Structures are given as structure tokens and as C-alpha cells.
Amino acid sequence: MPKNKILIAIDEPNWASVIVQTLFNVVNKEDMEIILLNVLETSIVDENYFYSFPEKYIKHEARKANFAYVEELLKKNNFEYQFIFKEGDAAENIVKISKELDTSLIVVGSHNKKIFETLFLGSVSYKVSRLAKCSVMIISSKYHVHNVRKKEFNILFAVDRSGFSKYAAEKLPGLIDIERAKIDLLNVIIPPQKVIPPEAYIYTDIGKIIDESKHVSGETLDEIAEILEKKGISKIKKVSKIDDPASSIINYAEQNSIDLIVIGPHGRKDLSSLFLGGTSMKVAEKSEIPILLVKK
């Protein structure tokens, strides 16, 4: 059976080691082939650039020494890997190479820029998460990695009624080490008061709506848990909350020693999804805990 290909985008060497170690802590190395990609960002994106300027190629090759620790980590843990160096726009190169190599997952770091900085000044992790065809793991520069591979690791899988959550549940076992994973399933119910205008309260039974929402939430959790159980995941906890989705996900992760947040994003690329919703993007922007976007 062919191995899953993972593209890890790295830049600053120390941070690169954090990214690789974080990934190492949650995947099954027997199923993975690693591609390390380092892009020197310039305004020149011509594929023939290195051939026209050989001194650039020599300088590029010399940069490999900066990532010696990363390579040593991969070798020590018997990962299959290759190293690719490119020059040009980082996000464009990451998405392009991922498509060419048919990767299952892209791993990229995030500097946790504010939302308007992300939009107007640009962010590699933001662009990749929106444009990549495969799943994307985003690792914050503020994340403190566990340098020792834990016997078990904790996943917070935030789910809703959509087919995207069901798809994520189907695909998750191919992306992480299910034998070591403990999964907390979280479904967040938006408070009715957030969506029902005050003038309609007199005609609305808020208590009944909440009860019905809790019932639907329970059905959602049971359905996703059943999918995961069929995939061989047995350590599952089901949690339902009434709150703002993004805030609830981040707070739960921080309070329960979560190692990885998993979301099946809805895949919208328009601005309305960012300003009117976009739970996955809000979590990725604010959370210091790694987030895995299992894309459909």
C-alpha cells in the first residue's frame, strides 16, 4: 500500500524543528513519506531562475545546513523524506508542489497574525489553508511542543451536522495515529439569543428550542462517534456546549490538555465566510494549539 505523502513547509530552522516534532507526535510514521519544502521568498518565480543564476543555486544548497537538526530528527525516527528548495512566492509554491506530488497533508506554521493583517498583508498559512486541495495542519509559532513522543495524545474534534464533519471523521484515521489517539468530540450549539431577534422572543419558546438543539447535538455526536468507532478508534468522549463555536473550541482545548484540534471546514473561499462565520479560520487565527483542517 502506498504511503501518505506529507508536505512540511519550513523556514526558520528552530521553528522548523518544532513543526516536525509536533507532526511526529501525532502521526504513524509507518504510513508517512515526508517532503520538506523551504521557499526563499522573492519576487522572481521563474522556474528557470536557478539555471540562469547558478550562484543562487549554490547559495540555496548551502541553506540545507541550517536544517541539519530537522533532518537528524527524521533520520533518527526512520522517516522517509526528501528535501526541496524553491524560490518565489511561498504560498504559491506550497500549493503547487502539493498538487504535483499529490500529498495527503500540508503542514505549515502560523505567526498568528490578526485577521486584517492576514487579509491585506498576506499570510502563508492563511493562503495555503484556503487554496490547498488537501488537508492542512497549522502550527502556531506560540506552540510549546512536547519533545518526547507521548504514549497517548489528545484530540479535540469539533463537529457539526454537515457532511464536512462526517468526511473528516472518515479521513482522520489516515492522517493521525489512531492507536494512540484519545478523541473528545465537541458540538457547540449557538445560543438561540444570538440568532433570534429580541422582538421575536414573545412568540418563541426559547427553552423548547434549546432542548431540541441539545437533542440534535446528541444525535450529531453519536453519528460521528459511530464513524470513528468503525475506523478502530475506541477512546471517545462526547461533549455538547451552548456557546460561541470558535471561543468554545479554543477554551476547551486550552483547559483539557489538547494536543491537536481537528475541524472539517466548510470550504467557502468568499469573504462572507470570513466576516460572518468562518469558525475554522477564527480558531486557526487565535489558537496556540495546532489545528488540522480535514478538507473535502
User: Domain map of the chain by residue range?
Assistant: 4-140, 153-293
Cβ contact 138:110 at 8 Å: yes
Structure confidence at residue 54 (pLDDT): 59
Q: Model's pTM, two decimal places?
A: 0.84
- Ordered per-residue pLDDT tens for the chain, 296 residues: 578 899 999 887 778 888 988 998 998 878 789 999 998 776 544 555 556 655 655 555 556 666 788 888 888 888 888 989 888 889 999 999 999 999 999 999 987 555 544 444 458 888 898 899 999 999 988 888 877 778 899 999 999 998 999 999 999 999 999 999 999 999 998 876 666 666 655 666 667 777 788 899 999 999 999 999 999 998 999 999 998 999 999 999 999 999 999 999 876 543 333 333 478 888 988 899 999 999 98
Q: Give the Cα separation of 154 and 183 in Å (integer).
A: 6
pLDDT for 18: 87
What is the model's pLDDT at position 105? 96
CATH, range 153-293: 3.40.50.620
Domain 4-140 has CATH 3.40.50.620: yes
**Domains 4-140 and 153-293 equal at CATH topology level:** yes
